[in-house]
Structure 1
Amino acid sequence: MQRCPWCEGFDLYREYHDSEWGVPLHDDRSLFEMLILEGTQAGLSWATILRKRENYRRAFDDFDPQRIARYDAAKVAALLADSGIVRNRAKVAAAIDNAKAYLALTAERQSFSDFLWHFVDHLPIQNQWLTLAEVPARTERSDAMSKALGQAGFKFVGSKICYALMQSTGMVNDHLTTCPRHVEVQAR
């Protein structure tokens, strides 16, 4: 199997690539989780976040926006003391702000999935990259998503973070064409 070269290095990375990355995701709470994790990854490697993912699920109440939106100073202090997650005050505050923005957005009877997926017209974009050098870090669509999320009150949602979200949740298929997952993801 000639996987995308970025996933080589350790088993958890390959497992993520082979089973999750690029698979179209429509569940609101799972999309919220990925938004938080992608924002937390800013300035770090995805491998770091992937290794800490289960700790994040534990620490952030399985990414329940209702609970996260109510975090108080004591909970923030506990999170900043938790060595199982990235202890960055701005990123922890962003997760809380994002939970509040998520609740406000979904209170308007719009699903988070519909909000995000409309940036790709509700269909995965099937890219045809041969090399990693061809894969963009951002696009006009991720620019638009970033702007809309920012206007809705979300934090740590720059265009590059949004494009990474689009890749991880299957809004774009950025598996290289030489990778068997390119066709497998396309068939979903």
Structure 2
Amino acid sequence: MTEVHVVHTADLDAAVLKAARALLDEVFEGDLSDDDWEHALGGMHALLWEGAELVGHASVVQRRLLHGGRALRAGYVEGVGVRADLRRRGYGAAMMEALERVIRDAYDLGALSASDQAVDFYATRGWKQWRGTTWAFTPAGVTRTEEEDEGVHVLPLAVPLDLSGELTCDWRDGDVW
């Protein structure tokens, strides 16, 4: 039986965190940096279990995004992955459904940086591609993140968004988006 559990990072023991990191290392074929893993921590995790084995992970963490002159509380999705042999069974959708409930109940909007392979998946769930420019608050000041323009997606909620406007994220090590 497959079950999704939603739990905060603080309530995960070392063995589960190790299993989640190992799963994501496998899913991203070794292209998950320590910074990428760090970005997935500190919020709510949707963990997909098949019996005692962790086969899926996704998390949502809080970030600040600036848009339209307002600092918005964003539920930022990180570390979404399902074991390769179990994909296309609705497991990713089940994890996202759990996290989208958290986002709808706790944040002004959802946001994420989607891989090319995941764009259609997120679009079917109501996520919108950001069509405007992207920026980041960095130690050197506000910096344009042109390479991220087409990869950022948002889940609009109650706050009006101009999807062709500017969107600025808070600073973090590694990939800012």
Question: TM-score under structure 2 normalisation?
Answer: 0.27
More helix per residue: 1
Q: Select the structure with the greater relative contact order (CA < 8 A; seq sep ≥ 6).
A: 1
TM-score (norm: length of structure 1)? 0.26
